[in-house]
Structure 1
């Protein structure tokens, strides 16, 4: 079924087997039953109701549960009421992030993403498999690599902003989605041919815009014959076909060492002098590459776009902040632009939580939690606690400047510990470059209020963070 490098001869069959095998919400028989009496308090609603509330109304649910039950509370999710214990204090968050990765498994907690990302995804792997994958991916995200990507990101951002017009009004989320998609396709996938880009864009967009209902539906395979689940499978088959074709062709390129995109760098990892560094003398095969590329796509596309959209809307709501941000763009003050990006991720969390599944009992916050429990910090609550961030309801980039960085484990959009997001540096660099291009050319005025809504696993501005442009 595979070629020499692991590329599938029949991608459709491979895709369908992955989707069948990796039901994101299926019960894991390796996890023991969890005694309910040993858990912190939480709502007593049916598991399906709690699951829907977590997927669709997470911002209200997290805040309400903390008010109702305290700093630590339990949600029960399908299937079979599997417990999710949420913590909100930084000292408890630290205990989760520093837990033994042999027994605090992040991959199991992220399994809802399995059908789309694939079993080799860095987000779904644990233990030795995760160590190997992270070691193979790290060279594509080290400091030297990030510096080489910067000019590519700036070029893509300049092309996008160059097409804007003074007086235009639009949903900034739409434009930031289009822009970060181009960054993903050009900087990560290394695709520059317009014909190929035109084929990839709609497939990638359809993957990113999966509804939470579709994610929940993986627990019920019979649904895959109908409506959005069937269309999701059809889209996955076609996207996989395009990605595998790109990987196979790129392997034959004679200029891999000169290319600056992530895919080309990953193809070189594990070969020659890099072989010893990987620990096993082998790089990523085509199936592994496909899974990691899709992971980067989902983890680094709409997340960054949403953070940027909120940043434009917040800056456009405050004339003084707008003037300060424009000055930073003009003067090359990357620290301030990065602080705007960080504050956007603090005030408007894109991902609600970071989770680990326990394979043996562990003490978190002074309470022993049994094996089989999934536990993790609520990013939503952690970012909104007044004891973590002074006047947390205000958008104040200066809280990240001049030695005012938040205390450890209070600002956690990228998680923490050995599982901290490998693309954190890339995301912050990308955001900084895009903000520079926007505010070097335009003043931005926010149009109306906005609030978050859930789309797939991320939160985005409900009204799209509408803004008006004025040329400088």
Structure 2
């Protein structure tokens, strides 16, 4: 029986944070980690807030209840409203729900599984070697920007297959768009024309330029006699059809490619910057990674390191759903229609009952053991990040390649503080490191 079929006479919402709406907005926008941590201590692992943009919301930091939300029927819960489709476009998978979302996910799945990802490993290694060739030795530098360049070049090459003038142009316009789009993603869009020089006007201008470039690349791909043999994501999407035999429209292809480019590189780059920030301060972990890497027999410890990294330094800290049904029953609570349910992923990753001594950075907690269901850096359920396996391989290959060619200097520097960039949380100093070539 769905929530829609249950008697809706009684609505029971969790305890509410009794602060003015504007104050909660400031806290969520600028001090979210501290605000949620403080609220959890005072009100428990489920509580209500009311903020502009998302409106009345229930924050969930309980692992079991988070799983219930992720596994809920799409008739009850849909994607959080509003969402990143405001930035990526109405043809993005972020904009779709129900059967349309399922059909699009099925269409997008092939490039992100099995042999397809294996084919991209060489590209990842090549881009890592190209970027690190100019790294300074014995001098402290930020790792965040190099990681952003690596991940952007990787996703551009895997999406479009080869370099060219169009890709050079996209390399130029995407980084400033990501920075601006991240800041605007959680702000309400004005109902009036703000002009071409405003942030919204600049986003619209970027979108026109992006679409023009992608449409040209689509025309080139469709005219390519080797299209059937190509392994890039654009070719795979152009060859794919829905069950009724219809292809994606060029605009939907452009929206999805922008989604992949926007969501597919910054979060991975941010996680990699945290990787170097952690390694600088954990010589024992670094030594074990280097030893395993030099043996070349396995990547078990490197995978455990990546999992602990995503838990200990969670880059995307919440995942949202919108209550579509008349209400949604969540544990003892009955959440009304129209509410947002926010899964506080970073706070769940800090749950001491699931992850003992959660403040400690300890890859061993993921070694030779089943990954807890409370480990959710990619979200969960039908909206779990479709590029999760790709991101994992990318981080694995980048770390493997860097450790093969460089020695990372360790010291007792204080941990870098967490910096919020609008969507992702990054090391405030950019993940500074000092390296020497091996």
- TM-score, normalised by the number of residues in structure 2: 0.91
- In 1, Cα distance between the equivalents of 2:127 and 2:423? 26
Matches within 5 A, 1:248-267: 248-267=219-238
- In 1, Cα distance between the equivalents of 2:95 and 2:175? 22
* Number of corresponding residues: 426
- Residue 314 of structure 1: how far off its partner (Å): 0.5
Q: Tell me, what secondary structure is at the counterpart of 1:316?
A: helix
Indicate how the Cα distance of structure 1 residues 286 and 103 shifts in structure 2: closer, same or farther if over 3 A, else same: same
Contact 2:181 2:203 in 1 (8 A): no
Matches within 5 A, 1:298-377: 298-332=262-296, 333-360=298-325, 361-377=327-343
Q: For each residue in 1:145-172, what CA deviation from the matched residue of structure 2 results, as whole angstroms up to 9, or x when unmatched?
A: 1111122212222222233242242111
Contact 1:207 1:235 in 2 (8 A): yes
Indicate how the Cα distance of structure 1 residues 315 and 216 shifts in structure 2: closer, same or farther if over 3 A, else same: closer
Determine if the alignment matches structure 1 residue 166 to structure 2 residue 137: yes
**1:228 alignment partner, one of 191, 199, 218:** 199
Contact 1:39 1:369 in 2 (8 A): yes
Q: Tell me, what secondary structure is at the counterpart of 2:407?
A: strand
- In 1, Cα distance between the equivalents of 2:409 and 2:132? 16
Q: Tell me, what secondary structure is at the counterpart of 1:428?
A: helix
Aligned partner of 2:166 in structure 1 is 196
Contact 2:124 2:154 in 1 (8 A): yes
- In 2, Cα distance between the equivalents of 1:213 and 1:185? 23
Q: For each residue in 1:8-67, what CA deviation from the matched residue of structure 2 results, as whole angstroms up to 9, or x when unmatched?
A: xxxxxxxxxxxxxxxxxxxxxxxxxx9997421232333343233223322112211111
**1:140 alignment partner, one of 84, 101, 111:** 111
**1:379 alignment partner, one of 329, 341, 345:** 345
**1:215 alignment partner, one of 185, 199, 205:** 185
Indicate how the Cα distance of structure 1 residues 52 and 279 shifts in structure 2: closer, same or farther if over 3 A, else same: farther
Contact 1:217 1:223 in 2 (8 A): no
Aligned partner of 2:55 in structure 1 is 82
- In 2, Cα distance between the equivalents of 1:325 and 1:223? 53
Q: Tell me, what secondary structure is at the counterpart of 2:84?
A: helix
Q: CA RMSD in A?
A: 2.2
Q: Tell me, what secondary structure is at the counterpart of 2:342?
A: strand
Determine if the alignment matches structure 1 residue 69 to structure 2 residue 39: no
Indicate how the Cα distance of structure 1 residues 68 and 444 shifts in structure 2: closer, same or farther if over 3 A, else same: same
Gaps of 5+ in 2: 1-7
- In 2, Cα distance between the equivalents of 1:292 and 1:341? 27
Gaps of 5+ in 1: 1-33, 271-277
- Residue 236 of structure 1: how far off its partner (Å): 2.5
Indicate how the Cα distance of structure 1 residues 344 and 36 shifts in structure 2: closer, same or farther if over 3 A, else same: farther
Indicate how the Cα distance of structure 1 residues 426 and 103 shifts in structure 2: closer, same or farther if over 3 A, else same: same
Matches within 5 A, 1:275-314: 278-314=242-278
Matches within 5 A, 1:446-457: 448-457=414-423
- Residue 222 of structure 1: how far off its partner (Å): 3.5
- TM-score, normalised by the number of residues in structure 1: 0.85
- Residue 379 of structure 1: how far off its partner (Å): 0.5
Indicate how the Cα distance of structure 1 residues 219 and 379 shifts in structure 2: closer, same or farther if over 3 A, else same: same
Contact 2:186 2:422 in 1 (8 A): no
Aligned partner of 1:43 in structure 2 is 17
Contact 1:399 1:406 in 2 (8 A): no
- In 2, Cα distance between the equivalents of 1:449 and 1:137? 38
- In 1, Cα distance between the equivalents of 2:269 and 2:183? 22
- Residue 223 of structure 1: how far off its partner (Å): 6.8
Q: Relative to structure 2, which stretch is displaced further, 162-171 or 295-304?
A: 162-171
Contact 1:304 1:431 in 2 (8 A): yes
Indicate how the Cα distance of structure 1 residues 197 and 212 shifts in structure 2: closer, same or farther if over 3 A, else same: closer
